[in-house]
Structure 1
Amino acid sequence: MLVLTRRNGESIKIGDDIEITIIQSKNDQVKIGIKAPNNIEILRKELFEETRNENAQASKNIGELLKFFTKKQN
């Protein structure tokens, strides 16, 4: 993991297309702004993980349903 120190108003570039700017920092919170192309999805990590877990559970449920219907047909 790369760790950088930035002040309010300073930015970090990722490649040519992504810029992260520190908008405000106080206490234990940092407010950031992200400029990126529209085709790049940006999510908070907890939402990303929640969605991934829900998709995994849905896939598992579909697998169980397929097994159930396969047994019914035999």
Structure 2
Amino acid sequence: MLVLSRKKNESIVINNDITIVVVEIRGDKVRLGVEAPREVPVHRREVYDAIQRSQQ
């Protein structure tokens, strides 16, 4: 796993078309903004896991 450090308003670019921005840091919570093409599904892990379970 690649681990990166970012501050508020800093970003990470994945594969030239996905950008993840640190929008807010409050205590132990971080809010992220994700810019990705519409055809790329983006889910929180617990939602992704639920989708995977429902498809089995």
Q: TM-score, normalised by structure 1?
A: 0.72
Give the fraction of aligned pairs with identical amino acids, expressed as a percent: 34
Distance in structure 1 (CA, Å) of the matches to 2:38 and 2:54: 24
Q: Given the alignment of the two structures, is residue 48 of structure 1 paired with residue 48 of structure 2, yes or no?
A: yes
Quote the residue 2:13 is aligned against: 13
Q: Provide the rounded CA distance (Å) in 2 between the counterparts of 1:35 and 1:55.
A: 26
Q: Larger relative CO (CA 8 A, sep 6+): 1 or 2?
A: 2
| Equivalenced residues, count | 56
Matches within 5 A, 1:1-74: 1-56=1-56
**Structure with the higher fraction of residues in strand conformation:** 2
Q: Where does structure 2 lack aligned partners over 5 or more consecutive residues? A: none
Question: Of Structure 1 and Structure 2, which has the larger fraction of its residues in helix?
Answer: 1
Q: Secondary structure at the match of 2:55?
A: helix
Runs of 4+ aligned residues of structure 1 deviating over 6 Å after TM superposition are none
Structure 1 vs Structure 2 CA RMSD: 0.7
